[in-house]
Structure 1
Amino acid sequence: MSNELLALKNLRLLRTEAREYSLETLTDILDKLSAIVEEHREEQANSGAQAAEHAKKLDKIREMMLSEGIDISELVGTHPVEQPESPSRQKRPAKYHYTDTAGRVHTWTGQGRTPSVIQKALNQGDTLEMFLIKE
């Protein structure tokens, strides 16, 4: 909260500040503050009225449902929303195989980033055909 608002909330500080202004200026400030207070009261009254009307509508709907023999649990969350199944794509078959520095054999489909072992071999002049899986 700003210092000005703190001064407005404290009666002593407000009296001290008010001594510096004329009665006409203080009356003008009072009129403006009164208008602001009245606006806030109207907003609260309107929001209270809206909440009461909303509650009244809910009660009316609840009574209609009960008279028709419908339970709220039938409407809320008992039927899961079915998600359409998307066709899953099959994995691509491996085209190449290579042995890493630890001696493990790996495969690569030929898509995506080239494995570092294969890339080093290619940089040294080897070809991808050397890594092809022969069926």
Structure 2
Amino acid sequence: MSEFTSILTHGRRLKAAVKELSVSELEEVQEKLAKVIADRAEEEAQLLQQEAEKRRKIEELRKAMDAAGIDPSELLGDSAAAPKTRRKRAPKPPKYAIKDDSGERITWTGQGRMPKALKNAVDRGEKLEKFLI
């Protein structure tokens, strides 16, 4: 919330902020604020009226389509009726391999976090290329 809004919406902070203003200045601010509120209420009423008109037109179209025996999916076509599904990407083959302390073979594709055994080997100074498959 902006500083102005926080002062305007908090009673004590607003009172402290307008302490220096005279009564006539406060009345002028009140008139301007009342005009802003009236304008905003009018805008919201227009938006609600437009939304109601849109819903009414949609309902009229729906009734006309039902009377004509038209299914909405026919009107939009098959591509709009069925959402596109994303194919799952095939897993990448491992690029690096190393045997850890227990003798287990650990592989890494080169993406994501490096396995601890491979990271330790690289930290000891071994080249990553040494572990290429």
TM-score range, shorter chain: 0.5 to 0.7
The residue aligned with 2:34 is 34
User: How many pairs align?
Assistant: 80
Aligned partners of 2:64, 2:44: CA distance in 1, in Å?
30
Tell me the TM-score normalized by structure 2.
0.56
The residue aligned with 2:6 is 6
Q: How does 1:42-57 map to 2 (within 5 A)?
A: 42-57=42-57
Q: Report the residue type matching 1:15 in the other structure.
A: K
CA deviation profile, 1:59-118 (whole Å, cap 9, x unmatched): 0011011001111111112379xxxxxxxxxxxxxxxxxxxxxxxxxxxxxxxxxxxxxx
How far 1:16 sits from its partner (Å)? 1.2
List 4+ stretches of structure 1 deviating above 4 A. none
Q: Report the residue type matching 1:49 in the other structure.
A: Q
The residue aligned with 2:70 is 70
The structure with the largest alpha-carbon Rg is 1
Give % identity: 32
Is the partner of 1:6 in helix, strand or coil?
A: helix
**RMSD after superposition:** 1.6
Tell me the TM-score normalized by structure 1.
0.56
Q: How does 1:83-122 map to 2 (within 5 A)?
A: none
Aligned partners of 1:15, 1:40: CA distance in 2, in Å?
24
